[in-house]
Amino acid sequence: MARRGYRWWYLDGTSADGAHHVVVIAFVGSVFSPFYARAAQRGAADPSEFCAFNVGLYNRTSRHTWVFSEYQPTAISRSATAFGIGANQVRWDGERLRIAVDDRSAPLQQSIKGTITARPRALTERPFRFGRDDAHRWWPVAPILDLAVDIDSAGLHWQGRGYTDMNDGAEPLHEGFDDWHWCRWHDDDVSRIQYRARHSDGETTSLDLSIDPTGAVHTNDLPGAQALRRSGWGIAREQYGAAAAPRVATLDDTPFYARSLLLRDGTSPVMHESLSLTRFRRAWVRQLLPFRMRFPIGRLFR
């Protein structure tokens, strides 16, 4: 990986009854770490020294559990099929992705332990490149997963469907982009993904994908944007081409990022995110980030 670069693996899913949701992200070069951003400003920071693990557990009563832990390099192990981050383990056996969660929530320090098992129905063949000099890639690796979530410490045991992708880049995310909006949902056995990213050089990448059960990717023209209500922190949100305004349930509301569900009658929930990197670049925002994280205390003095 490039110095000052990043890579992350993302998974989300919803229970069959629509009552529960999960998001997991494993980072090499944690793009939202104020410590990695500070090291990158000083020079060629090594992304492998700033690995992090993020879990969000959500339900319809708005009781949320949040894990975002950054680890020292000595707590990291990586191979072709496994990624260990602290006591957490992400492992691929050729057919299933198994995530063993063993961490503590932020800021309450609750123990969060359990497993998430995902079996892809199909894999896609290639990533999409964008940004200056194609410096960034996004790959919807497995757009439909059969998911089993067993978080024993929280009493959560459910099955449903999910999705996983991968992002990586050769420069800090906040240098390559000003903002983006992304959403995805399942339309029967077809995965739908819409993505609009505004680059820091003023260019825009727009994608509207339909991915069929074989993993074949079909591209469409992204419909016009419709503004949704802003998040509590004032982050703009938008959707594309829907006939009616959805109900918006905010899962995570931060000064630079909003994760939401868009709920429409008769359709599956739409997982949605809006990210403002112009906001992330502000010093006061980075000063707030450690309150949502667990991190090695020595990082405060580096």
DSSP 294: B
Task: Please state, in angstroms and rounded to a whole number, the distance separating the CA atoms of residues 132 and 201.
Answer: 8
> What are the percentages of helix, strand and coil residues in the chain, rounded to 5?
15, 55, 30
Residue 191's DSSP bridge partners are 186, 211
| Predicted pLDDT at 218 | 96
Question: Which residue, 292, 271, 273, 293, is CA-closest to 12?
Answer: 271
Cβ contact 263:183 at 8 Å:
no
The predicted structure's pLDDT at residue 118:
98
Give the H/E segment covering residue 284: helix 283-288
Query: What distance in Å separates the CA atoms of residue 200 and residue 171, rounded to the nearest whole number?
Result: 12
Please tell me the pTM assigned to this model. 0.95
Under DSSP, the state recorded for 96 is -
CA 44 remoteness from chain centre: 25
DSSP characters over 150-203: EEGGGTEEEEEEEEEEEEEESS-HHHHEEEEEEEEEEETTEEEEEEEEEETTS-
- Let me know: does 66 contact 105? Beta carbons within 8 Å: yes
Please name every residue paired with 56 in a beta bridge, in sequence order, or none if there are none. Answer: 23, 66
User: According to the model, what pLDDT value does residue 200 have?
Assistant: 92
What per-residue confidence (pLDDT) applies to 296? 77
pLDDT of residue 1: 82
pLDDT at 133: 83
109: left (phi over 0), alpha (psi -120 to 50) or beta: left
Per-residue pLDDT of the chain (302 residues; tens, 9 = 90+): 888 999 999 999 999 999 999 999 999 999 999 899 888 888 778 999 999 999 999 987 666 899 999 999 999 999 999 999 999 999 999 999 999 999 999 888 899 999 999 999 999 999 999 887 889 999 999 999 999 999 998 899 999 999 999 999 999 999 999 999 999 999 989 999 999 999 998 899 999 999 999 999 999 999 999 999 999 999 999 999 877 889 999 999 999 999 999 998 777 899 999 999 999 999 999 888 888 888 876 565 55
* Cβ 149 vs Cβ 156: under 8 Å: yes
What pLDDT, on the 0 to 100 scale, is given for residue 43? 79
